[in-house]
Structures are given as structure tokens and as C-alpha cells.
Structure 1
Amino acid sequence: MGLAEIRDRVVAEAKRVGRAPESVTLIAVSKVQPNDRVEAVLEQGHRVFGENKVQEAAGKWPGFKEKFEGVELHLIGPLQTNKARQAMELFDVIHTVDRPKLAKTIARLAGELGHCPRLFIQVNTGEEPQKAGILPADADGFIKECRDLGLVIEGLMCIPPAEEEPSLHFALLKKIAHRNGLKGLSMGMSGDFESAIAQGATHVRVGSAIFGERDYS
């Protein structure tokens, strides 16, 4: 499919629902992708990328950031507390703040480092036990807790259950964000990003449709 087609589809869907295309940020999810594929997308002028693991990003992105100006790196995978410092030094945006211990660690490190990445709270909209994220019922309290720690929360993120209608989860995330005065909505992936844009997504996370299928072997 490739970057150009996905960009065109993002623009078309935004226009269809009466939104400015620039109100949607396309995050190219480069996890597990070989460097030559990532470089090819960088060569096309794209600068916003998502990674799942701190370790993988640390081995890949410092070199690319030296070579290509203006790269913005988003952490979209679960963050272990002991990797928080490295993540905060490497990533511009963290989408997966999901528990009080992590929020407290980020607040402490922000004080030590003198800067903090932009932050999204991950909400487990499907209440799946195997998935990270704060439960919807606990989201309002957790947002307040983060703000009380001095953290600036930009928005919310979700990954809907694979077998459920994603738009219901996008609508729930939007509702939680709206009542907490949050504008950022990180939602929608390769298979459902148009549905997410229709529901107000500000960030869509698209990987295989841009880079090709991942090889986990």
C-alpha cells in the first residue's frame, strides 16, 4: 500500500467528516521493521514514527535522528518503570502512561531531567486482562492524579479488542477525553484508522499498511 496512499486516505477521510486534514497526525509505526524500509519512508519526507520498545528504538533512532532533521518519535508500547528515564530521553511523546507508579516516576524524572515528553494516558476500553491501560471507570481519577503530580496530559490512547467494533471504543475514549478537557485522541491502526478519524482521532498509528508486513522470525 505505502505511505502516499495512506496519507491520501487520511486526508480524504478528514475532509469527508468536515475536519482539517492537518488536525490528524499520521504516526508511521516502525516497530520490527528493517532499517532500509524505515529509511525509505524517511526519504519520502515523513517524520513522525512510533515504536513499541525502548530498547529497539534506542538501537535504531539516534542514527536516523542525526541523518534526518525534525524526526518526532512516539512510544506506543507498554513502558516499564525501570526504562522510564531512557524513554524520556529518547521519545518526544509517550502514549502509554497507564498506572500511578509510572506517572510518579515520570513526574520525578521530569524534575531531574528538566523536560518531559508529551503524554497520553492509555485507557483499556475493552477491559481486557492481558492488555495494558487504566480501566475506563478509573480514568477520571487517574487523569486528576497525573495533573496533581504536575504532569501535562495531552490526551488519551486506546487499542480496541480485535474482535469488537472499534468505533464503539473510539467513541468511549472520546467521551472520557471530552469530560476531562483533553483534546488528544490517539486511536486507530492500519485496519480502522478511517473509523478513528471519523470519531475525532488526532493521532492514528499505522504500521504494516505503510511498511509492509512485519517479519517476527
Structure 2
Amino acid sequence: MKNIQLAVLTFVFLGFFSCSKNDNDTVSPTPAPSTTIDVNSPWQYSIKFDGTAYSHVEGAQDFQGSVGWSSSLVGAPDPSSTTFSSSLDNINSNVEGFGIELGRVYFFGNEVDTAVFKDFLQTGPRNYSVDPANGVSVGFTDPSGTYWSSSFGTANQSGSLFSITEYKTLGMVLWSYQVKIKATFNCKVYDFAGNVKTITDGVYVGVFENYY
């Protein structure tokens, strides 16, 4: 009988020991989600406008991405030309929208060739211009509804930078060929009265489109 009791007690003790938790055990924390913004991120922008941060992502707070182009068609022997634009705007108001215009692409015929369009948006720096015809122009509408552009006022952009850092082809979407980019930038922006403010830490991820 004593042998049976000893066996039972031994079993209970071993069972308790095997199920007990060691207070020294550590549990690895769940990794935080990545906050890295790259060309695969949703359409978005983030800037510091005179030190105040603004950022929006497509699909949140009524913001929606849009694309555009402006062509000047002329006959041979002169080339035609097109500028391309991409923006993220609030569809219910005009505030805190941000956009980029790039140009100008020269071509012969009725449309920009896909290879030319893709090459135009490859990674690398761009020069600011008083209009997008010879480089890049960026624009931002502040919370009061005032529009600011890098090509207004004196358009002085000494020390400013704009660079396409990542590039991804999306291919044909309906009747358009799309390319997605990530750009980083800083610049001076001016309102219609010539007042100046600065944009720093700028990041833009968005689509440009060549329509056929």
C-alpha cells in the first residue's frame, strides 16, 4: 500500500513540475508593423510645410489620387510635347492637396511612345522650373485654402532638391500606361502674392499615366 501511495505522489509531483512556468522565461514581443515608405506603398504624400507636418494616404479622409497630362500637338518638322501630373487631393474640399507636374516630353506623331514615357520617369534628380516645361513643379494647398507652388513668385530654388528615388511599371490600365514612383524633395513655395514658405522632408508615392 505504501508503494502505491509513493507512486501516486511521484506522478502528481512530476505532473506539477512539468506544467509549471519558469518565471525567468521570456516571450519575444510581436514585431511592430513596418513604417517604411517605398514605391509599393499606397498613394500618399508627407511634407513639413514651414515646420508643420502634413500627410495623407489615398482612401483615408476622402483623399484620392489623380493623374493628368497636357499636350501641345504641332505638325512636323516640329515636335509635339506633353507634361504629366500626379496629385493626391481631398475630393470634398480643396485643402491639404498636393501635386507634382513633370515635363516636358517631346515626341513626333500623336502620342508619347511607351518607351519614351518610361525612360522619362526613371530614377534620378530633377531641376525645378518656373513651369513644368523644363523640369518639375510642386504645389500644396494649405488648410486655409491658399495654394502654394514652387513655380510662383521669384521661383528661386537655390538649395532645393527633387529626386525620383524608386520606379515601378504598372503596365496598361484600361487605355493608359501607368508608372508608379517614389520621390523625395525639399523646396521653397510661393503664393500668388509672392509670399514664401518652405517644404522639407517631402515624400511622394504616386502614379503617372500616359494616355493612348
| TM tier, smaller | under 0.3
Higher Cα radius of gyration? 2
More strand by share: 2
More helix by share: 1
Greater RCO, 1 or 2 (C-alpha within 8 Å, sep 6+) = 1
- What TM-score, normalized to structure 1? 0.24
- What TM-score, normalized to structure 2? 0.25
